[in-house]
């Protein structure tokens, strides 16, 4: 019998949650995704620093000594994205600055800039997903970008309201964060059994997946942020799963049978009701876990973005 990674690939598109080209060579995922935290880690590895230097030199030529770190960070994201495209046959996600998460217009402008940088490198931008945080403003930015033909990966999804708003906006793909949901529940209710199918992050993704398939939404569900392979096993059959190298390795060394857990509906039912901004904000207000984790995720990505820019400034 093939290992669980190969079994998973037969029913789910496997995405590498890493900027490490060597790991991608080993596990051969279909797609790849990065974020500011992963780019920061890459810049702390010696073999990837030449890409940082290239981004800094480009920024200096473009902008002199002004905002080198900030300008170079965009170029670095695209350089690493381009390298990832050489390693995977499918899509690569590149994230918009988290500090723009509550500004629809600025998010759209940043996304357009990233796409133009990819185009300048001669890269097929149909393989690029622009990654945006799942605030109301971010989801509206993704709606506008999708209408322009720029596909989006809306990330930091912790609630059904976020997922539903994305589907109704016509977003290409969402990333519900399984492990971070589990983290919150374990911290706030440590006496509960959250193993296997009881994992609240797993339950969240299953609910989203079932709703999308039942109502005929095309938005891709890509589970993310896994803490253990049990979460992945419980979501076998999901549209996509983005998995860290450590867990990819664990799956590759597990030869047990991997049953399919999620399957689409044969006859979807069209839904005409739409979630309003007021209902979205109220649902988020009432969901402490989702509000906590969304804010925390945006803050952490912003901190790592600033650290990344500081490293690039130092390279100048």
CA dist., res. 131 & res. 33, Å (int): 9
Phi, psi of 14 (to 5 degrees): -95, 130
- Please state, in angstroms and as integers, the Cα–Cα distance from residue 252 to each residue in 26, 77, 197, 305, following that order: 10, 29, 22, 32
> What is the 8-class DSSP label of residue 148?
T
Is 78 in contact with 54 (CB distance < 8 Å)? no
Nearest CA among 136, 152, 175, 105 for reference residue 291:
136
- Known catalytic residue: 131? yes
Bridge partner residues of 15 (DSSP): 31, 242
**Residue among 131, 143, 206, 293 flagged as catalytic:** 131
CA dist., res. 168 & res. 138, Å (int): 14
Tokens (6 digits) for 239: 């549209």
Is 18 in contact with 244 (CB distance < 8 Å)? yes
DSSP 3-state of 144: helix
Is 159 in contact with 131 (CB distance < 8 Å)? no
Is 70 in contact with 310 (CB distance < 8 Å)? no
Residues marked active site are found at 131
């Amino acid at each position: 019998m093939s290992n669980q990674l190969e079994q998973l690939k037969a029913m789910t598109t496997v995405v590498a949650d890493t900027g490490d080209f060597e790991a991608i060579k080993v596990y051969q995922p279909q797609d790849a995704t990065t974020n500011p935290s992963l780019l920061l880690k890459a810049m702390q590895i010696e073999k990837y620093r030449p890409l940082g230097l290239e981004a800094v030199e480009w920024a200096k030529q473009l902008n002199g000594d002004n905002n080198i770190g900030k300008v170079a960070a965009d170029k670095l994201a695209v350089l690493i994205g381009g390298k990832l495209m050489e390693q995977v046959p499918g899509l690569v996600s590149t994230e918009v600055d988290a500090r723009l998460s509550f500004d629809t217009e600025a998010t759209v402008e940043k996304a357009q800039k990233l796409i133009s940088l990819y185009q300048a490198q001669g890269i097929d931008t149909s393989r690029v997903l622009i990654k945006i945080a799942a605030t109301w403003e971010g989801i509206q930015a993704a709606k506008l970008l999708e209408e322009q033909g720029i596909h989006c990966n809306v990330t930091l999804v912790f609630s059904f309201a976020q997922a539903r708003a994305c589907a109704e906006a016509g977003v290409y793909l969402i990333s519900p964060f399984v492990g971070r949901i589990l983290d919150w529940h374990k911290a706030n209710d440590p006496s509960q059994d959250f193993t296997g199918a009881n994992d609240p992050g797993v339950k969240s993704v299953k609910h989203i997946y079932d709703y999308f398939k039942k109502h005929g939404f095309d938005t891709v569900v890509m589970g993310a942020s896994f803490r253990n392979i049990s979460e992945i096993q419980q979501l076998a059959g999901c549209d996509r799963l983005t998995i860290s190298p450590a867990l990819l390795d664990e799956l590759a060394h597990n030869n047990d049978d991997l049953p399919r857990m999620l399957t689409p509906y044969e006859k979807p039912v069209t839904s005409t009701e739409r979630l309003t901004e007021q209902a979205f904000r109220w649902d988020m207000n009432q969901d402490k876990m989702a509000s906590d984790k969304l804010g925390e995720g945006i803050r952490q990505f912003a901190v790592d973005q600033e650290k990344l820019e500081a490293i690039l400034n130092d390279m100048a």
